[in-house]
């Protein structure tokens, strides 16, 4: 199962995002959506699960949950925006993956058997950071695999 993982769109849906996500079975938005129209556009590609980010405190996106738990292909996924607000032990809670955004920095690492994955930002470019999104591949009985996809930008 392939999942598209994005974060920190901040109201900007770049033209390369939807074609890059074509073929994923679900899309996970890790907060700082900025505009609910982005979630509607993503839903044209695949079902969307989204959490609220720090810029989503007012308006329609404020109704998004602060965190979410999903179960696909035998794996529990924990979604939140800011890893600094994680108040549980993912390994003890039997999560396979913790997905987060906020920093705009793509990052992937395993700690105590848990994959921590930040797809970076595919919204407005921040500093000299790349414009990225992620693909998470899940198979029952196998470790989750995460890929960072670099998008072109003209900022």
pLDDT one-digit tens code per residue, 122-136:
999 988 999 999 999
What is the percent of the chain where pLDDT is above 90? 95
Q: Which structural domains are found in the chain, ordered by start?
A: 2-136 (3.60.21.10)
* pLDDT tens per residue, range 66-101: 999 999 999 999 999 999 999 999 999 999 999 999
Over range 57-62, report the average pLDDT.
95
| Position 155 confidence tier, pLDDT thresholds 50, 70, 90 | low
Q: Please, what is the average pLDDT of the chain? A: 96
**Contact status, residue 101 vs residue 53, Cβ threshold 8 Å:** yes
Kindly tell me the burial class for residue 112, based on how many C-beta atoms sit within 10 Å of its own C-beta (0-12, 13-18, 19 or more): exposed
The pTM score is 0.97
> Please, which residues have CB within 8 angstroms of residue 150's CB and are 6 or more apart in sequence?
130, 131, 132
**Contact status, residue 87 vs residue 98, Cβ threshold 8 Å:** no
Q: Pairing mode, if any, of strands 26-29 and 48-50?
A: parallel
């Amino acid at each position: 199962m392939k999942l598209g993982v994005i974060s920190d769109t901040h109201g900007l849906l770049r033209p390369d995002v939807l074609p890059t996500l074509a073929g994923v079975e679900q899309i996970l938005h890790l907060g700082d959506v900025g505009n609910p129209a982005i979630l509607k556009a993503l839903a044209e590609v695949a079902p969307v699960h989204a959490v609220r980010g720090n810029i989503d405190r007012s308006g329609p996106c404020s109704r998004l949950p602060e965190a979410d738990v999903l179960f696909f292909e035998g794996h529990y996924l924990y979604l939140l925006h800011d890893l600094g607000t994680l108040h549980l032990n993912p390994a003890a809670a039997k999560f396979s993956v913790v997905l987060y955004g906020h920093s705009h920095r793509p990052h992937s690492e395993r700690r105590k058997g848990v994959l921590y994955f930040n797809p970076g930002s595919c919204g407005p470019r921040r500093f000299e950071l790349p414009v990225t999104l992620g693909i998470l591949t899940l198979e029952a009985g196998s470790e989750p695999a995460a890929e960072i996809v670099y998008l072109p930008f003209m900022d």
